[in-house]
Structure 1
Amino acid sequence: MEVVDRLDRLDPQQRPADLKASVRAGELLISDGGQEHSLPIPADRFYLSVAPYLRQTHDCFYHAPTGCRGELAGKQAHVKIVNDADGTVLVDESRTTFANGFVGFWLPRDITGILQITSDGKAAETKISTGEDAATCLTTLRLA
């Protein structure tokens, strides 16, 4: 979890060019241009990286903290994530997007829920899932 957090917070200009990483539901795949290594993600946790946007985005499924770039770096956003099963509020806080334009959340595994995000008076909402076959990169939240 610590490695994922550190990679996502790295300024894109300061990342080693040959460092590649991909966050999957159960593991972090990481490569330095040579061998690929797998670091396990705890079985009860799921990392969801979110990049809200205004004008442009990119298609993504598995978040690449060393490659994915969002449009809104360093922006304040309020995020609320609610578990569908029991209405539990998992996240309800303001965050600043990282230098890569993303903001990341460690969530319980195997839930569905609603993610709402607001920034500068604009908002977006979508359903999320944290199952084994779920996306770890959410780039479809157009703020309107």
Structure 2
Amino acid sequence: MKRLAATIPALVLILAGCSTADTSDEQSVEGAEGEFLAAHGLDGMEVPEMIDHLDRLGGQERPTSYMASIRSEELLFSDGEQDLALDMPDDLFYLSVAPYVNQTHDCYYHSLTTCQGELTGQDIQVRILDQASGEELVNDEVTTFDNGFAGFWLPRDVEGTIEITYDGLTGTSDFSTADDGATCLTDLRLA
């Protein structure tokens, strides 16, 4: 279900992670949703495409006319006049990871429009394991986006470990793709 919330200050939406919705008139919600997405150049994209597009942007390319934030269940937008919550895929969880050497920031819910990591455009080796089964979910070399993050679509309800190697340095961190799991991992220090 897609929802368009009444005007709520962006800070409340981003911090609280909730919105009010009136879906009694589904046709008007769809129309308002479409207008919102078109106004911000996101129309015609599915939620995973929007996330992939926005997470790859950095510096001057990043939108400043709205905020976009990822929760386990929703992709949230706010432009100060309208707020929009789009459902995430039922079977997948998006985890955005910013490994660091010298500096990081505290983060729980990844902001596609403001989060900035230290290592931009760097090749990193990533290994992601499901702790319960031992299954290797990812084992690949990836390049961090212009925002210093690398994003991964993982199965839901997994407790795991992520290990990253970069320039002879290695770091690990635990993660969870449960409903209350963090979508922004910024505590993976490379040493």
Q: Shorter-chain TM-score: which interval?
A: over 0.9
Query: Is the Cα contact below 8 Å between 1:12 and 1:66 reproduced in 2?
Result: no
Q: Deviations over 1:83-115 (max 9, x none)?
A: 112111100000000000000000000110110
Aligned to 2:86: 39
Higher RCO, 1 or 2 (CA under 8 Å, sep at least 6)? 1
Amino acid at match of 1:73: T
Which residues of structure 2 form unaligned runs of 5+?
Answer: 1-47
Helix, strand or coil: the match of 2:107?
Answer: coil
Aligned to 2:122: 75
Q: Distance in 2 between matches of 1:16 and 1:117?
A: 29
Is 1:118 the counterpart of 2:165 in the alignment?
A: yes
Is 1:99 the counterpart of 2:146 in the alignment?
A: yes
Aligned to 1:85: 132
Q: Distance in 2 between matches of 1:125 and 1:33?
A: 37
Q: Distance in 2 between matches of 1:26 and 1:40?
A: 6
Is 1:28 the counterpart of 2:28 in the alignment?
A: no
* Length-normalised TM-score, structure 2: 0.73
Q: Distance in 2 between matches of 1:16 and 1:98?
A: 15
What is the Cα deviation at residue 75 of structure 1? Answer: 0.6
Query: Is the Cα contact below 8 Å between 1:46 and 1:109 reproduced in 2?
Result: yes
Q: Distance in 1 between matches of 2:174 and 2:98?
A: 15
Q: Distance in 2 between matches of 1:61 and 1:100?
A: 16
Rg bigger for which structure?
Answer: 2
Which residues of structure 1 form unaligned runs of 5+?
Answer: none
What is the Cα deviation at residue 12 of structure 1? Answer: 2.7
**Structure 1 segments (4+ residues) deviating >2 Å:** none
Helix, strand or coil: the match of 1:13?
Answer: helix
Q: Deviations over 1:41-74 (max 9, x none)?
A: 1111100000011111000000001100001100
What is the Cα deviation at residue 128 of structure 1? Answer: 1.0
Query: Is the Cα contact below 8 Å between 1:73 and 1:100 reproduced in 2?
Result: yes
Is 1:50 the counterpart of 2:97 in the alignment?
A: yes
| Bigger fraction of residues in strand | 1
Q: Let me know the Cα RMSD of the aligned residues.
A: 0.9
Is 1:8 the counterpart of 2:8 in the alignment?
A: no
